[in-house]
Chains A and B, each alone.
Chain A
Amino acid sequence: MTGGPGILIVEDEAPIRQFLRISLEAHGFEVREARLGADGLAACQERAPDLVILDLGLPDMDGMRFISKLREWSDLPIIVLSVRAAENEKVQALDLGANDYVTKPFGVSELLARVRVLLRNRDESFPEIAAFEHGGLLADFKTREVTVDGTPVHLTRKEYDLLHLLITHPGQVLTHEQIIRQVWGAAFTEETHYLRVLMRQLRNKLGEQATSPRFIVTVQGVGYRFDVSG
């Protein structure tokens, strides 16, 4: 055991647990495993890990219930493992409080990137940071000024709110509902076209290429992610 950040894997498939453990330990994480949801919750209570990797299809309990239960007393980051073609499931998990998801089958590098982003986001607390900078985008939180490659960009209040929300969760997927709730308020969660139109305006102002965006990535049917991988 290395004494690095602790990760709890809740997954019933032994081969997947095996390759996750080997890969994560090789990257300096301290890994614990649970085959069942109940075991996973017990392990969290006994000694809280720094992050949970949760398979949604557990034999003893619905993954959604696991998330709800854990969120009753803990806000430790959760990454969900989900199957493709089930956008609803991902959105539901995210809206319940999961922090991100990876679609099975996945490469380890993808999972590691998500793990790192979440652990970093947890360590940094954004209100104390005066500015955000990534890949040519600079946002000053005090003056609300934004520049792209040194050129000032004038954003409306809502556009700035949207950008601010995304860059304060860098690399993390935010569902449509989460974004609308923050930018417009809970009464507007059905009005996804507001978000689409606003997103198009914001991207235009940031000078995004339509089909290969630099900053904001669309996660089809789920939400948006501020890309910090590049």
Chain B
Amino acid sequence: MPAAQNNMNFLTRARHQDRRSQAGPRGAYAWALTTAAATTGIAFLAHQLLPHANLSLLYLTGVLIVSARYGLRPGLLASIVSFILFNFLFTPPFYSLSVQDDGDVATLVFFLVMAAITGNLAARMHREMDARRASFDRTHQLLEFSRLMSSATNTGQIADALAKDLAARLHCPVAVLLKRDGQLDRQAWSGGRFEVSQAEIESIWAREGQDCNAVGERTVLPLASPAGRLGLVILDTGGRGRSQADLDMARSLCDQAAIALDRTLLEATLEEARIERETEQLRSALLSSLSHDLRTPLASVIGSTSSLLDYGGSFAEADRRELLATTLQEARRLDRYIQNLLDMTRLGQGKLSLAREWVDLHDILASAMGRVDRPERVRVVTRIQADVPLLWVHGALIEQALVNLLDNAIRFSPADGEITISAACRNDALTLEVCDEGIGIPDSDKERVFDMFFTARHGDRSQMQGTGLGLAICRGMIGAHGGTISAHDGPGGRGTCMRITLPLRREPATEAI
């Protein structure tokens, strides 16, 4: 009987809807009774003014409100209670339930029909709203998942996100296994752990090309990209099958994850290749630098000393001295180069420990200038503002940086050129400049001169060139102090100014002096 079936349908839907209404089912019935009682109160006040037929409309309003809000069954309850109260209190014979008029029977039927229609409509509306909300949530989750997939930077993040998402949607434990170096290892779990033996994994993996396998009580989804299979997802569904919709959804998530995995793997490969290429470049630059900068001085040393040893007796005294002076000079050059390499490895280990102490800039400058070989013709002018405070630095490192800058400035200075060293405080930083009157550095190279072996890589091995380590060391040592170093044009666009900035720290009180 279609009507009864329909009614059954109403009832199930109403139950459904009751569960979802804001008040619990009992609350809904209580509200139905309260509404009927309230309507009666209002009717008592109004029945002096209104004819009794209109009072039934008042009750009907109450029934409609209850049906719309709480659905069918509270609506039906409200309509029956309302009819009884209406009949008992307001229709003749008063204070009796007997029905005198056929119109009153019509009122009851009318109440019931209105409650049924409204309740049904209300239930459908609630259902649609719920469905829409659920769909919105799904879309939102999917978007959130996509965002996670596209922003993930490593495969671990992707596996974690996928496992969490699947576990939350399918309400079952999930394991994600990724292939790495031919092995399925990196595992992400969510929603509880379950046992998967290595043999089981192997056998699942071996059955290539099968999709959505049910393996015992589990469901297995592949993670595959055009490049090949990347891993597996195992759902511990406990023998209960999943709906096709759920599986489709899970498969689409897996596809998204596979694309993301593919992307991160590609990025990792590219990054590896880049690092390898740079390391290779650096290695060849270091080797060419080593063979040149170690061999050249050694050639002079070996040549000079062997000729002195073999033929020294026949040389004029002045020649002998000259050869010895060259030997010494070249040996010292070798020493400086080795020092550079040592400094570089010290910086390269990344754990340069600063032995900071309070140091006077004048002291650093004085000892740096004492360490460089300066031809008489090159003058050095220092302009240090009187208010430069003590520096909280590792003195030897700042000194080494200055030695390297001075070495460069001297090497590039023209005959009777002038080198200016100036220092001033600006805000909370010290600005230190070493300026020469040399050929200057083109704008395109102003940043690159700080790269390791930049000069060496340029292949120009004239007298002017250094080892290609000096400025890289400067930057490392100044950087370790939180400072910066940069190359600029000299005053009037002539020569080069190397500018160091170092953060200053407030000097402690020195009342004990």
Contacts and interface: CB of A to CB of B under 8 A. Distances in A.
A199 B359 CA distance: 11
B19 to A, nearest CB: 74
B96 interface: no
A189 B513 CA distance: 14
B378 to A, nearest CB: 14
Given A197-B513, A198-B513, A200-B360, A88 B365 contact: no
Contact of B399 (A188, A191, A210, A220): A220
B390 A105 contact: no
Contacts of B384: 210
A47 interface: no
Contacts of B507: 193, 197
Contact of A87 (B362, B396, B512): B396
Given A194-B510, A197-B390, A210-B384, A85 B366 contact: no
A143 interface: no
B358 A210 contact: no
A85 B394 CA distance: 12
A221 B395 contact: yes
Interface in A90-119: 105, 107
Interface string B356-377: 0111101111110110000000
Residue with the greatest number of chain A CB neighbours at <10 A, chosen from B331, B363, B369: B363
A184 B382 contact: no
Contacts of A176: 357
B512 A210 contact: no
A211 B432 CA distance: 15
Main secondary structure of the interface of B (DSSP, over half): helix
Given A196-B390, A211-B362, A191 B335 contact: no
B508 interface: yes
Chain B interface extent, by class: 35 or more
A192 interface: yes
A199 B366 contact: no
A220 B363 contact: yes
A85 B342 contact: yes
A184 B357 CA distance: 18
A15 to B, nearest CB: 13
B236 interface: no
A220 B508 contact: no
Nearest to B508: A193
Contacts of B510: 193-194, 197
B296 interface: no
A192 B382 contact: no
B499 interface: no
A171 B364 CA distance: 20
Contacts of B328: 107
A73 to B, nearest CB: 33
Interface in A187-225: 188, 191-194, 196-201, 203, 210-213, 217-221
A191 B512 contact: yes
A219 B513 contact: no
Interface string B330-361: 01100100010011001000000001011110
Contacts of B421: 211
Contacts of B363: 196, 199, 218, 220
A84 interface: yes
A158 interface: yes
A105 B328 CA distance: 11
Nearest to A209: B366
A89 to B, nearest CB: 12
Contacts of B513: 156, 158, 194, 197-198, 201
Nearest to A176: B357
A230 to B, nearest CB: 12
Given A87-B396, A194-B510, A220 B360 contact: no
Nearest to B421: A211
A221 B331 contact: no
Interface in A132-156: 156
Contacts of A85: 339, 342-343, 346, 396
Given A200-B360, A200-B362, A221 B369 contact: no
Contact of A194 (B342, B364, B394, B512): B512
B395 A213 contact: no
Interface string B383-396: 01000001000111
Interface in B459-513: 507-508, 510, 512-513
Contacts of A158: 513
Contacts of A218: 360, 363-364, 366-367
A213 B367 CA distance: 10
A194 B360 CA distance: 11
A188 B331 contact: no
A81 to B, nearest CB: 15
A105 B335 contact: yes
Nearest to B366: A211
Nearest to A190: B357
A87 B364 contact: no
Contact of B396 (A156, A193, A197, A221): A221
A157 to B, nearest CB: 10
B390 A193 contact: yes
Contacts of B358: 192-193, 196
Contacts of A107: 328
Nearest to A188: B512
A88 B364 CA distance: 17
A184 B513 CA distance: 9
Nearest to A83: B342
Interface in B47-88: none
B342 A196 contact: no
Nearest to B511: A194
A221 B366 contact: no
Contacts of A192: 357-358
Contacts of A210: 362, 365-366, 382, 384
Given A87-B396, A184-B512, A220-B367, 17 more contacts: A85-B339, A85-B343, A191-B512, A193-B390, A193-B510, A194-B513, A196-B360, A196-B363, A197-B390, A197-B507, A198-B513, A199-B360, A210-B362, A210-B365, A211-B369, A211-B421, A220-B396
19 contacts: A84-B339, A85-B346, A88-B355, A107-B328, A193-B510, A194-B510, A200-B362, A210-B362, A210-B366, A211-B365, A212-B366, A217-B366, A217-B367, A218-B360, A218-B364, A218-B366, A220-B364, A220-B367, A221-B396
Interface of B: 328, 331-332, 335, 339, 342-343, 346, 355, 357-360, 362-367, 369-370, 380, 382, 384, 390, 394-396, 399, 421, 507-508, 510, 512-513
